[in-house]
Chain A
């Protein structure tokens, strides 16, 4: 012990409670909790006072009252005699519809963009770059309004703009050719189900094999291939056996006042979808690009040196590693697309926010409506991120 250091106090050392960090921590937390609770109580009581005076006490009773307003498009049957609750569900389903289709299309377009940005073709690379820089620096709302205004220029249905005979643009919406079940559809479906069953059996068997041998392996792509293959064989077999395709393309035909065949979506939906897909694809493209770039060059070289073909290198070495980098930011882009679909209100597409806004205007029940609105968006966000986190954990590197 160094000379001159103060003698250690003998016996029990008592720290006064106001200098004990453990006690301070507890006190700080209690004070914080009380402050937050007091603030919330203050806001709450103000609100309740105001609402009581306005005779608008929050209640969810309006949910079972007939809404009385029409909704332009709906996945489930709906008319104004149905309740506000039903209207709200219609809104949720419309949001899910546009977000679901949007996510699929944006992923495809984003993948193409990301790969185009890395192409060895100078022109393609730079065209993709120009597209990215233009789209991501202009507000989405402006783009949506632009697309929606464009649909206002579409001609009357009799003079529809014909795109290759499969797509028709007119002032009532966009009509496009769509696959349709034909006579022998049921026969083919047997093949499809059979394919799915064989695929699942193959997948499970392979997985058990991998587990027994305690080594990693890939089974899903082959399983999918098998399922698709059987479905495809069935497709042709049905044709040769019965002389007609099990699925036919229903091509829209212009009758006097309307199109028959194909499917027609409203211009609001088309504008919203196009806007969301074009905007989100840019961000997905950049994520894909940086994901592929994040795999070090040595990996590709090593794979090639081991004798893997370029295709195998991409499939077995580059993509699995790139996917690990890509999935987390991709999740937030999917969530962004879902949240951005609330801008539908600007193009008159009756999504969740649009319907909630209408309900609020009619009933004046701002508080319950906002609570339901936020709860709905939060659950959609939560479900998406739970699923993506599950998928992310599955593909993460297992370190031994």
Chain B
């Protein structure tokens, strides 16, 4: 007997229409103390915004940051070699574009976001003067090229398809040494000594080195801390807790003072390498703790199942636990990268000139001495904005990845 089942006519729940007045009453004036808070805050916001805008319009120091944009970005990197940072950046963005086409998802969001920002910066860069003796592309053209590489890479990768997967992974692995090679020179390229490096480039190099180079060490330390062999475990615990117990400045200080003593002929190690070694050793301890968190989140059944299938300890770690643990800690690692990106500003204290150092130097330039009150507010505001945009964007990306992982668990 077949019964005709008619779909029940469903209606949506009536939408709650809230008028403006109702919204205000509910969200701003629900109680007497909320009303007081709202009025006080409105007054304060009005005061702050109007005085800030008034200051921004009349502030005399903006030229300090904008005429020195080259110093902020690259510090004393030779003008005639500026095509090299551009090439390095183009290389990375091309890889990002290709990855976007291949993997989609968050990578695509990042790539297209970067492309949009590049176009925007391209328009801003129209106003920047060309530098004398510049052989690189003008800023605006380069930024448009970057956007093109991102979008073009995305399209190309979609056209090529999955074949690209392994070459791309290998290319990413090689990109770090390649970027260093392009910037520093060698293999026929003229050498640009690292003491000429600085500004935003240096900040980025320190932060990226800190994460990339500390990765193997950090993973080993995390595994060692969970090892059943007491000697190895104790060593790892001591290392991790020792580093986490002292401030980064102390570690940088050690890198600057002790590293040259530890190695024969160590005085010739340049300051950047010392800083990178210190940042790497520091970052590894924190990375180890993050990875350990990921390792602990893996259910024991996974390991037991792997062992039951006949995998040995090394295979279980490399094929079963580590991949899952690393995937789970990606958002935390992005968080660590943000922290490192901000913390690298401490290299100013050991005499390197990163973004903050460059700003401090510009503020001290004799030509701004006549400006009443100095130009530090405007200059620091500009670099604060640069730091902010980078950190904020990365924290949003991290949040997205986290949400995605949480969703895929259900």
Contact = CB atoms under 8 A, between A and B. Distances in A.
B261 interface: yes
Interface string B195-230: 000000000000000000000000000000000111
Contacts of A378: 242, 245-246
Contacts of B384: 138, 142, 146
Given A146-B380, A149-B376, A153-B373, A139 B245 contact: no
Contact of A366 (B230, B245, B261): B261
Q: Is the interface of A mostly helix, strand, loop or mixed?
A: helix
B24 to A, nearest CB: 9
A134 interface: yes
Given A46-B261, A120-B34, A353 B247 contact: yes
Given A29-B230, A123-B37, A43 B253 contact: no
Interface in A339-366: 339-340, 342-343, 345-346, 353, 357, 360, 366
A331 B355 CA distance: 31
A120 B342 CA distance: 33
A377 B229 contact: no
B37 A121 contact: yes
Interface stretch (A193-201, A249-257, A367-375): A367-375
A177 interface: no
A391 interface: no
A343 B41 contact: no
B263 interface: yes
B258 interface: yes
Nearest to A40: B262
Give the interface size class of chain A.
35 or more
A46 B246 contact: no
A142 B41 contact: no
Contact of A139 (B244, B262, B343, B360): B343
Interface centre among A51, A140, A339 (most CB of B within 10 A): A339
Contact of A121 (B38, B244, B263): B38
A140 B342 contact: yes
B42 A123 contact: yes
A47 B258 contact: yes
Interface stretch (B8-16, B127-135, B387-395, B400-408): B387-395
Given A32-B232, A357-B253, A366-B257, A345 B380 contact: no
B169 interface: no
Contacts of B376: 146, 149
Nearest to A127: B41
B250 A377 contact: yes
Interface in A135-172: 136-142, 145-146, 149, 153
Interface centre among A137, A340, A345 (most CB of B within 10 A): A137
A398 interface: no
B45 interface: yes
Interface in B252-270: 253-254, 257-258, 261-264, 266
A378 B240 CA distance: 12
Given A138-B388, A378-B246, A149 B380 contact: yes
A33 interface: yes
A342 B37 contact: no
Contact of B37 (A30, A124, A374): A124
B27 A142 contact: no
B383 interface: yes
A382 interface: yes
A238 interface: no
Contacts of B266: 46, 50
A46 B258 CA distance: 11
B346 interface: yes
Interface in B339-367: 342-343, 345-346, 348-349, 356, 360
B302 interface: no
Contacts of A141: 345-346, 348, 356
A382 B345 contact: no
Nearest to A29: B231
A79 to B, nearest CB: 27
A214 to B, nearest CB: 35
Contacts of B230: 29
A397 interface: no
Interface centre among A30, A51, A367 (most CB of B within 10 A): A367
Contacts of B296: none
A337 to B, nearest CB: 11
B27 A47 contact: no
B235 interface: yes
A190 to B, nearest CB: 39
Interface of A: 25, 28-30, 32-33, 36, 43, 46-47, 50-51, 119-124, 127, 133-134, 136-142, 145-146, 149, 153, 339-340, 342-343, 345-346, 353, 357, 360, 366-367, 370, 373-374, 377-378, 381-382
17 contacts: A32-B229, A33-B231, A43-B263, A46-B264, A121-B37, A124-B34, A137-B338, A139-B387, A146-B376, A146-B380, A346-B348, A357-B253, A370-B250, A374-B242, A377-B247, A377-B250, A382-B245
Given A29-B229, A149-B380, 6 more contacts: A28-B229, A29-B231, A122-B28, A346-B348, A353-B247, A374-B245
